[in-house]
Structure 1
Amino acid sequence: MSNPVRDILATLLAFDTTSRESNLALINWIEDFLAQRGVEAVRIINAEGTKANLYARIGPMGDGGVMLSGHTDVVPVDGQDWQVPPFALTESEGRFYGRGSADMKGFLACVLASLEHFLAEPLRMPLHLAFSYDEEVGCLGVRSMIEWLRAAPDKPAMCIIGEPTEMQPVYGHKGKVAMRCQLHGRACHSAYAPDGVNAIEFAAKMINHLSESRAHLSLQEDARFDPPYSTLQIGVINGGTVLNIVPQDCQFDFEIRHLPDVNVDGVLIEAQRYAQQELLPAMRSVAGESDIRFTTLSRYPGLLTDPQSQFAHWLSQWSDCDQFSTVAFGTEGGLFDEAGIATLICGPGSMEQGHKPNEFVAADQIKRCMQMLDNLCHWMRG
């Protein structure tokens, strides 16, 4: 790997941009990096002023061109058994270790390292750079940047998201809805259990009803995805205090990962109907203050770009790989696609290493990504 890419990757890894933390120190560094090369960037800051997206463009004015997009946040290292420092670059046997090396600071390092090449060429269309925040907690941060792009006079036509795909072009992934269900009943001594409303028991009924919806979701299949149907699972549940008190409160989180062309609103509406018409009357017959509330934690659409499109043909040439696939994990791609920006995914590393202790990206993957960006630069030069 060339020294510039390695040095940039080492710098990016040193920033702890776990989603619960601010990403502003990293954004400051990238902004300075761009400014030193004469590239002006725009910050799109969150309401609290603690995080920011960063957008920049080079080349001629006007609509169109290609956007290179990546998120700056990483998942936590808490409770993981790391043999190397997670927020530093460790190089060993052709691998570059550190939290976010694969997901996805390796791609960001390649983009920044290739910038001078793009600046040296008379591009025939603009190159857009997009760095977002809070992707790991539901693709939250990029939404404000997309709204900014919608209002901008010039919008990119195509987007490459550099999530780790082992440099294989990806045209599709499922969408996701993450929900929280909170049940409030009435506490009492367990010796007088009928006088209370057991929130855990009613949560169990709600979960059982959702399990029936899961069976319906599996009826529609698309062999291009693995698993080939939409899924629903309960991930977290909390309730109760001690055994001899009827639990007053219980909450659980569930998610639906759905095929791109499946609308899951019907599942959510049916869940709320069951809660309102079946569970709450029974709960309130004992305690009028009983309640069931649903809250959306995060939501993003699926992605399904035509692998026979002209854009897909070009990406297969740039990446030197004509084998397209789908992935099981989600990205910001569906949101860009909804904004009218054709989107594909291709980046260095593997999600087999992402989110795990001793995360790494192989040097060969970085080399292939740099070659893809070099090929893109030559294509944009015309």
Structure 2
Amino acid sequence: FILEALKTTPLNKLNKPLYVLATADEETSMAGARFFAEQQMIKPSMAIIGEPTELVPIYKHKGHIAQSLHIQGKAGHSSDPDKGVNAIEIMYQAIGQLMDLQSKLKTQFHDEAFSVPHVTMNLGHIHGGDAENRICGHCKLNFDMRAVPELSDEQALAMIDEALAPVSAKYPSRLSLDLMYPTAPAFACRDEQNILALAEQLTGKKYQSANYATEAPFINQLGCDTIVLGPGSIDQAHQPDEYISLDYVEPTVHILQQMIKKVCF
């Protein structure tokens, strides 16, 4: 879309530089965006992160933390439970602590800008044991948290550790917690250059928040006004028949051209 928008743009007449950033590993580690944030090689005044927002400007979104909880038990024959340590039974207690934390987060951190206005925690995948007549020697739970901007990644991780501390104390050296990939912080636009008013003017749509995570918090660290804006719908994202309607082509190109004209000329 941006390359199409640049076809008729007189780049030799720009008053401000125009950068097109291509980043790697956006779906998991966001390594490319982290690199640009760490290097600070460019200092734009405004940035647009291309995501399927139905051309609605997104000015705020939740963060994402994914962790694996491992319980190390001691396998043995189920006929004599005292000779083993059942990892599933310990995981049951750990899940209870996480569910209590889930309830606490719902009431403690609230942001009405979001359609789901509270912090969410999802227990997404669990696996443990290998036979019905064998004491489970290992159990693993993968879960994630999506925090509002008020809750930092550091605070969220500390709350998870605190929630699991009683189980860890009861079963020393049997619990371990690992990040599945680096955390993605929540995001809120600075709006120091009035990008929100400009985006509303060009799209004809009021800016909104989103419950998913993007690279925006890292690009934001370059010191610029950042929004998330692009063609397509999040409803089609990560689906077997993922697509973007051709109806988006012309308006997307037009919005990008007008944004460049307003900011760079």
Residues 228/198 of structure 1: CA separation in 2 closer, same or farther (3 Å cut): same
Measured after TM superposition, the shift of residue 262 of structure 1 is 1.6
Tell me how far apart the structure 2 counterparts of residues 268 and 364 of structure 1 sit (CA, whole Å).
42
1:258 paired residue among 114, 122, 147? 147
> Deviations along 1:107-159, whole A, 9 cap, x unmatched?
xxx112223333545000000111112111242332123222x1x2x421211
Worse-superposed segment, 257-266 or 321-330: 257-266
Specify the code of the residue in structure 1 equivalent to 2:44: P
Q: Is the 8 A contact 1:164 1:347 kept in 2?
A: yes
Residues 210/377 of structure 1: CA separation in 2 closer, same or farther (3 Å cut): same
Counterpart mapping for 1:304-323 below 5 A: 304-305=188-189, 310-317=194-201, 319-323=202-206
Q: Which residue of 2 aligns with 1:48?
A: none
Measured after TM superposition, the shift of residue 282 of structure 1 is 3.8
Tell me how far apart the structure 1 counterparts of residues 76 and 189 of structure 2 sit (CA, whole Å).
55
Please give the TM-score of this superposition, normalised by the length of structure 1: 0.64
Residues 381/191 of structure 1: CA separation in 2 closer, same or farther (3 Å cut): closer
Residue 272 of structure 1 pairs with residue 161 of structure 2: yes
Worse-superposed segment, 134-143 or 359-368: 134-143
- When the two chains are superposed, the root-mean-square deviation of aligned CA atoms in Å is 2.1
Q: Is the 8 A contact 1:197 1:283 kept in 2?
A: no
Q: Which residue of 1 aligns with 2:112?
A: 223
Q: Is the 8 A contact 1:171 1:304 kept in 2?
A: yes
> Deviations along 1:325-358, whole A, 9 cap, x unmatched?
1112110001222342221011011111111122
Counterpart mapping for 1:62-81 below 5 A: none
Residues 273/214 of structure 1: CA separation in 2 closer, same or farther (3 Å cut): closer
Measured after TM superposition, the shift of residue 264 of structure 1 is 5.3
Residue 327 of structure 1 pairs with residue 218 of structure 2: no
Counterpart mapping for 1:143-222 below 5 A: 143-148=34-39, 150=40, 152=41, 154-219=42-107, 220-222=109-111
Measured after TM superposition, the shift of residue 265 of structure 1 is 3.8
Measured after TM superposition, the shift of residue 380 of structure 1 is 4.1
Q: Is the 8 A contact 2:111 2:117 kept in 1?
A: yes
Measured after TM superposition, the shift of residue 215 of structure 1 is 0.8
Q: Which residue of 2 aligns with 1:117?
A: 8
Q: Which residue of 2 aligns with 1:374?
A: 257
Residue 246 of structure 1 pairs with residue 135 of structure 2: yes
Specify the code of the residue in structure 2 equivalent to 1:112: L
Tell me how far apart the structure 2 counterparts of residues 171 and 307 of structure 1 sit (CA, whole Å).
9
Q: Is the 8 A contact 2:46 2:193 kept in 1?
A: no
Tell me how far apart the structure 2 counterparts of residues 147 and 266 of structure 1 sit (CA, whole Å).
22
Count how many residue pairs are aligned between Structure 1 and Structure 2: 263
Tell me how far apart the structure 2 counterparts of residues 129 and 231 of structure 1 sit (CA, whole Å).
33
* DSSP 3-state at the match of 2:34: helix
Tell me how far apart the structure 1 counterparts of residues 157 and 38 of structure 2 sit (CA, whole Å).
26
Q: Which residue of 2 aligns with 1:233?
A: 122
Q: Is the 8 A contact 2:152 2:185 kept in 1?
A: no
Q: Among the aligned pairs, what percent are the same residue?
A: 27
Q: Which has the higher contact order (CA 8 A, sep 6+)?
A: 2
> Deviations along 1:242-301, whole A, 9 cap, x unmatched?
01111111111111101111235445334434545x3345435xxxxx521111123111
Q: Is the 8 A contact 1:235 1:252 kept in 2?
A: yes
Residues 126/241 of structure 1: CA separation in 2 closer, same or farther (3 Å cut): same
Specify the code of the residue in structure 2 equivalent to 1:247: C
Specify the code of the residue in structure 2 equivalent to 1:342: D
1:356 paired residue among 239, 254, 263? 239
Q: Is the 8 A contact 1:213 1:267 kept in 2?
A: no
* DSSP 3-state at the match of 2:132: coil
Tell me how far apart the structure 2 counterparts of residues 200 and 293 of structure 1 sit (CA, whole Å).
14
